Amino acid sequence: MEMQVKTTTIPGLIFAVQVEEVNHLDPVGGLICYLASLYRIDPKTSARTLLKRSRIPGAAADMKREFQRDGIQAFRRYQTA
């Protein structure tokens, strides 16, 4: 069994956003578990605050695209959700 963790950090002026994607695969490559987490990173303390989680495969790519496209507006939507 293989577990893959992919982390992408999107820098911003006031804070950074980190998207963490975990794929757990069986020996033949089938997906056992998928989890995408979206964090806000405080630039002074490096503390991570969880904004959103998803178990839908491919959700990390959607989260990254949304933040790269909408910036602070996407962050505001996640804070109120």
Query: Domain residues of the chain, as ranges?
Result: 2-80
Look at residues 16, 3, 29, 22 and name the one whose alpha carbon lies nearest to residue 60.
22
To which residue do tokens 């950090």 refer? 9
Band of pLDDT at residue 48, cut at 50, 70 and 90 = very high
How does pLDDT run across 4-36, given as a tens digit for each residue? 899 988 887 788 888 899 988 888 888 888 899
Average confidence score pLDDT of the chain = 83
Quick one: 54 exposed, middle or buried, by C-beta within 10 A (0-12, 13-18, 19+)? middle
pTM of the model: 0.76
Q: Please determine, for residue 46, whether its predicted confidence score (pLDDT) is greater than 70.
A: yes
